[in-house]
């Protein structure tokens, strides 16, 4: 009764207000009690049989309820009986009702709850934060999925085949972690759960609406740079320097561009280490060494207990390409603290640099399962899949780009993926989504022109493809350094194409779409490129090629 009376002092806008607890003897003289609480008008979240809420709507509801659960946990209580029937929708907000199952954390005795929602371990552990987290996952599942029942209760787990889970991968991963049979594998708090659920919501809304919903991560840095942005365009730099530029990604390009975990603010050395994070890895290592040796004022902090210090060392070593030393740091740390997700992230980066794509995929997948609302592991998985030639995870490029189109590497990765699948028109449309305000806009336009023509046989190229590529080049200023070489590519492709095809006769890039006109256009481009060449041998090669291309003169 004392615990019940304490509930009358609990005040939260999303929890029904308790006024009093009253006991009186029944007809047999036994004490019975009842609760005096505020009236809450509205309807519950319980859905009619066979119907479900849209995922975005259900998530929004749960994001309103999670702070109330977090509040109860902060005062040592658990709710224990979260389910749609106990969540009321009022005119102004959602409210938790029916506090009859509220109990102290780890309390034993009479345990209340509803089978099908209740955590499986509660009879052994008593009510815990983890058992409440489980009920959140179950409630979301019931609201949005076709949950099977047995003997009047919902069966444990998730349905093996459900279109909602197939459509929203991150939501599926979120639910799996929330209702993991192992309490220690679930989200550690209502706040942590809400943080990931917000990220999942952004993805769901972006997918449903077709409009990006970017947001700042509290766990990962922004992308440190870009990768793969000018791969196709750089391939045409052979016109400029005569050197081969293979249009392929490299692991170092990816690793130095990927997001990295932010400093854990709860780390024993967080305040000191924050000041040692520098832009260059060598400087970072020197600062961390000074911190280890006590040359930086630690204000009495024992940095030997820090987890972040060796993680920062590993990150700097990976940026320098020293995978062996980085792995050694990670091995020592794992012996001390196990495998927190930040360590697993750097294991993935190390495996990527070593060319062990299976291990990299395994590590990044582990991080994604743990943090399903984060973009960073999805980007890492997509890039790893591209290096490995693995189709399975390449669609993460689409997930990232549709959610946050400021992650420009994802957009270009998606375009490469689509082009490789033969979906060139879709790849070009994707590149057209790069806004004019982006510093990568010109590269996107040039890349779209190359995408229309490269990697295809002449029988696959149409006149419309050539003219569309030309239109994109014409729209760019001639002062753009790479425009000339892309003009040469377009006109050269047109010249090869017209040898076995007939054109409509209209001009293209200022020259007639005829064999003679195209030869003249290609010749002019090659001579202009020769004038820009810095190497004599390449300049002569371009002039020779121009002479060979020049139309035959009758004089």
**CA–CA dist 89, 82 (Å, integer):** 14
Residues 6+ apart with CB under 8 A from 72: 10, 12, 15, 78, 79, 102, 132
The answer to whether the CB of 141 falls within 8 A of the CB of 168 is no
Distance separating alpha carbons of residues 401 and 415, to the nearest angstrom = 10
> Residues 6 or more apart from 73 whose CB is under 8 A from it?
105, 129, 132, 189, 190
Q: How is residue 305 annotated by DSSP?
A: G
Active site includes 404?
no
Greatest Cα pair distance in the chain: 125
Q: For residue 511, what is the DSSP state?
A: B
Residue 82 token pair: 């979260």
Half-sphere exposure of 450 (CA within 13 A, CB side): 26
In eight-state DSSP terms, residue 161 is S
Token pair listed for 287: 């600062």
Single out the catalytic residue among 26, 81, 241, 358. 81
Residue 118's nearest CA partner among 90, 95, 86 is 86
Residue 385 contacts residue 391 (beta carbons within 8 Å): yes
What residues act catalytically?
Answer: 81
């Amino acid at each position: 009764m004392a615990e019940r009376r304490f509930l009358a002092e609990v005040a939260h806008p999303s929890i029904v207000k308790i006024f009093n607890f009253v006991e009186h003897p029944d007809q047999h003289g036994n004490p019975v009690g009842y609760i005096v609480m505020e009236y809450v008008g509205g309807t519950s979240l319980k859905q009619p049989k066979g119907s479900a809420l849209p995922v975005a709507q259900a998530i929004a509801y749960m994001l309103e309820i999670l702070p109330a659960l977090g509040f109860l946990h902060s005062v040592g209580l658990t709710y224990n009986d979260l389910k749609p029937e106990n969540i009321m929708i009022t005119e102004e907000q959602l409210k938790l009702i029916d506090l009859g199952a509220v109990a102290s954390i780890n309390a034993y005795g009479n345990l209340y709850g509803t089978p099908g929602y209740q955590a499986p371990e509660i009879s052994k552990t008593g009510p815990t934060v983890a058992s409440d987290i489980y009920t959140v996952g179950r409630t979301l599942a019931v609201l949005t999925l076709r949950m099977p029942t047995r003997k009047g209760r919902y069966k444990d787990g998730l349905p093996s085949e459900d279109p909602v889970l197939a459509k929203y991968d991150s939501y599926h991963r979120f639910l799996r972690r929330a209702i993991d049979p192992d309490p220690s594998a679930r989200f550690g708090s209502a706040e942590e759960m809400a943080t990931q659920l917000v990220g999942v919501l952004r993805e769901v809304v972006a997918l449903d609406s077709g409009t990006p919903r970017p947001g700042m991560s509290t766990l990962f840095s922004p992308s440190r740079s870009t990768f793969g942005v000018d791969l196709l365009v750089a391939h045409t730099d052979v016109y400029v320097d005569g050197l081969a530029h293979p249009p392929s990604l490299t692991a170092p390009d990816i690793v130095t561009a990927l997001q990295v975990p932010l400093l854990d603010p709860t780390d024993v050395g967080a305040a000191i280490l924050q000041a040692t994070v520098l832009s260059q890895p060598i400087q970072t290592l020197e600062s961390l060494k000074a911190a280890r040796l006590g040359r930086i004022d630690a204000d009495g902090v024992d940095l030997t207990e820090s987890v972040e210090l060796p993680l920062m060392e590993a990150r700097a070593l990976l940026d320098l390409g020293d995978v062996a030393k980085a792995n050694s740091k990670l091995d020592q740390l794992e012996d001390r603290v196990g495998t927190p997700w930040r360590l697993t992230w750097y294991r993935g980066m190390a495996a990527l640099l070593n060319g062990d794509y299976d291990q990299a995929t395994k590590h990044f997948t582990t991080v994604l399962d743990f943090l399903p609302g984060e973009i960073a592991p999805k980007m890492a998985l997509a890039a790893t899949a591209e290096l490995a030639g693995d189709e399975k995870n390449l669609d993460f490029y689409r997930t990232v780009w549709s959610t946050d189109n400021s992650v420009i590497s994802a957009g270009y990765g998606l375009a490469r993926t689509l082009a490789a699948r033969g979906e060139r028109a879709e790849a070009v449309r994707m590149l057209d989504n790069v806004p004019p305000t982006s510093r990568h806009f010109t590269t996107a336009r040039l890349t779209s022109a190359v995408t229309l023509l490269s990697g295809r046989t002449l029988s696959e190229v149409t006149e419309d493809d050539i003219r569309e590529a030309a239109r994109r080049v014409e729209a760019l200023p001639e002062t753009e350094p790479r425009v000339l070489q892309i003009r040469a590519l377009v006109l050269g492709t047109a010249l090869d194409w017209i040898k076995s095809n007939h054109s409509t006769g209209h001009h293209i890039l200022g020259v007639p779409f005829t064999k003679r006109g195209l030869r003249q256009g290609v010749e002019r481009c090659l001579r202009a490129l020769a004038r820009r060449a810095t190497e004599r041998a390449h300049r002569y090669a371009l002039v020779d090629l121009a002479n060979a291309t020049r139309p035959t003169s009758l004089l």
